[in-house]
Amino acid sequence: MAMEIGEAEFDAQVLERSHELPVLVDFWAQWCGPCRMLGPVLEQIAEGDERFVLVKIDTDQAPRISARYGIRSIPAVKLFINGKVAAEFVGALPGGSIRKFLDEHLPSPADDHAQAGRAKLAAGDVAAARTAFEAALGLDAAHAGANLALARLALDEGDAEAVERHAEAIRWDAPEHEQAEFLRKALIFHAELQTLDETTARTRLGSDDGDLDAWYALGCAHAAAHRWEDALQAFLESVMRKNKYRDAAAHKAMLIVFGLLGHDHELTDAYQRKLQIYT
């Protein structure tokens, strides 16, 4: 059965609950004929599918929630996952189309393992996270999230072969593909340390702070250890002195770090502006 809620229960019953189990919300109204047709279809599907819970909201009784989610035509159905709208449709679709919609957008068993892996990783349990990500790949070898996570772990370990393998498994049209390409490029940070390690780079800079190879190697050492601000500053020191040195290696390294951090990261914004001054 569907749970009928009002505005006061929305955050708890939809947003918070969707972090544990996806919530399908049916925005409807008593006067809406298509809504009365769709409601029983949704309830029948929900009774036989334990992957989600069904919630109904009468738009006439919940104007603020309706405005918040831009409800202009009903019935409107939105699928909430992890507190956000993951997918939606408008109109009284037939049961087959609704089941297809759910199959396309509800987390799969592989997604569940990947989510568990991310939780373990956030808790600092790398071994358990790796096991969960590998379990996801056991169910779906092309699972983009699990492959990306394992590629990141492999990069931290300097395992170039594993980075390439997991990055290659991510489809080009997956949202994770761009990040995978940056992980591939980031292998250069570990490779550089085979030529000039951090200790030697610091020693050389102590003697000559204009040593561009040392600045670049120091930046790579910081990046390999995820000391992102230190890495960007070291690369910038090289760019400031000679931007085109070694085919603009330090400049390119900064672009890789920006890609790893993401466009909306505060360090990306700050150092992109600094980089523009010298390029």
Specify if 186 maps to a domain. no
Does 188 fall in a domain? Answer: no
Residue 251 lies inside a defined structural domain of this protein? yes
148 and 218, same domain (yes or no): no
Domain boundary residue, one of 153, 181, 209: 181
What span, in angstroms and rounded, lies between the C-alpha atoms of 192 and 239? Answer: 17
State the CATH number of the domain containing residue 139. Answer: 1.25.40.10
**Would you call 32 a catalytic residue per the annotation?**
yes
Number of domains within the chain: 3
187 falls within a domain: no
Q: Which domain holds residue 237?
A: 193-277
Q: Say whether both 29 and 99 belong to one domain.
A: yes
**Domain end: 105, 125, 152, which one?**
105
Q: How many CA atoms lie within 13 A of 6 on its CB side?
A: 3
Last residue of a domain, one of 105, 128, 162: 105
14 and 98, same domain (yes or no): yes
Q: Are residues 28 and 86 in the same domain?
A: yes
Catalytic residue among 23, 25, 35, 102: 35
Q: Which helix (H) or strand (E) holds 84?
A: strand 84-90
Mark whether 142 and 176 lie in a shared domain: yes
With beta carbons less than 8 A apart as the criterion, state whether 45 and 74 touch: no
Handedness of CA 140, 143, 149, 151 (dihedral sign): positive
Provide the CA 137 distance to its chain's centre, in angstroms: 17
Residues 52 and 144 in one domain: no
Q: Are residues 27 and 84 in the same domain?
A: yes
Q: Are both 21 and 79 inside the same structural domain?
A: yes
Q: For the whole model, what pTM was predicted? A: 0.71
Same domain membership, residue 176 and residue 149: yes
- Confidence at residue 279, expressed as pLDDT on a 0 to 100 scale: 79
- Report the run of H or E that residue 224 belongs to, with start and end: helix 212-224
Place of tokens 């991510």: 170
What are the pLDDT tens digits along the chain (279 aa)?
688 999 999 999 999 999 889 999 999 999 999 999 999 999 999 998 888 999 999 999 999 999 999 999 999 999 999 899 999 999 999 999 999 999 889 988 899 899 899 999 999 999 999 999 999 999 999 999 999 999 999 999 889 999 999 999 999 988 899 999 999 999 999 999 889 999 999 999 999 999 999 999 999 999 999 999 999 999 999 999 999 999 999 999 999 999 999 989 999 999 999 999 987
What pLDDT sits at residue 158? 87
How many Cα atoms are found within 13 Å in the side-chain-facing hemisphere of 56? 19
Shared domain check, 221 and 160? no
Per the domain annotation, does 16 fall within a domain? Answer: yes
220 is catalytic: no
DSSP state of 279: -
